[in-house]
Amino acid sequence: MRKPGILTYLVGNAPVFLAVSFLCLWAGYHALTVSGGWTVAALTLPLGAWVAGKHDTLIRYRAWKREWGELGDEAPRQAAALPKPPMWLRRIVGSILVVLMVAYLVAHRHEPGAAAALGFGVVGSAVFCLVAFLRRLGRGSAKRRVARARMVAICVRRPVMPVPDLATAYRSLPEHCQRLLRAPQAHNR
């Protein structure tokens, strides 16, 4: 398992995780008790999800490293990631959430900040869709993706020294080798 980066160590440690967790709880309370408080929750919850992901990565790395230290010469097993739900289910849930958010904002459009939140939601969704489309275009063909995913790649495309073809190589063998090659293979029968 690869060692996490410095950002994961800074953001994923326990004090930062606890502080952001309390911030998310406060934002949820603020959204329920204060008019227009949902904007704070809408900005805080993605931050909390990001910090929770970094915290989880750091915990899995530390558990892997602890297991590595307890073993002898054999390598530890990789920590299995939680399986993702199928893409169709994620799309349905995402679509329902977007429709509910838009319906709520349209119903409360006269409240201050609702129009701005709706605008930010539309612009954010458009940027998200554009980035996803550009990433899909940047992957290239399936052949290139398979070539990039291989563990072993061909590094030398052509020989460094000139190499004769097979017929020339056979002709350049000494006479006793050529006789051996032309002789019937009695020992293989």
pLDDT at 42: 83
Task: Summarize the confidence of residues 37-46 as an average pLDDT.
Answer: 82
User: pLDDT tens digits, residue range 132-147?
Assistant: 777 777 766 666 666 6
Contact 24, 48 (CB under 8 A): yes
pLDDT at 144: 65
pLDDT at 151: 47
User: pLDDT tens digits, residue range 43-94?
Assistant: 888 888 899 999 989 888 888 887 777 665 555 555 556 677 787 887 788 7
CA distance 56 to 82: 11
User: pLDDT tens digits, residue range 89-110?
Assistant: 877 887 887 787 777 777 777 7
Find, among 90, 94, 95, 23, the residue nearest to 52 by Cα. Answer: 23
CA distance 103 to 133: 26
pLDDT at 100: 79
Find, among 101, 89, 95, 110, the residue nearest to 45 by Cα. Answer: 101
Reported confidence tier of residue 154, pLDDT bands at 50, 70, 90? low
Task: Summarize the confidence of residues 159-188 as an average pLDDT.
Answer: 81
CA distance 63 to 57: 10
pLDDT at 188: 54
Question: What does pTM read for this prediction?
Answer: 0.41
pLDDT at 54: 92
Say whether pLDDT at 159 is over 60: yes
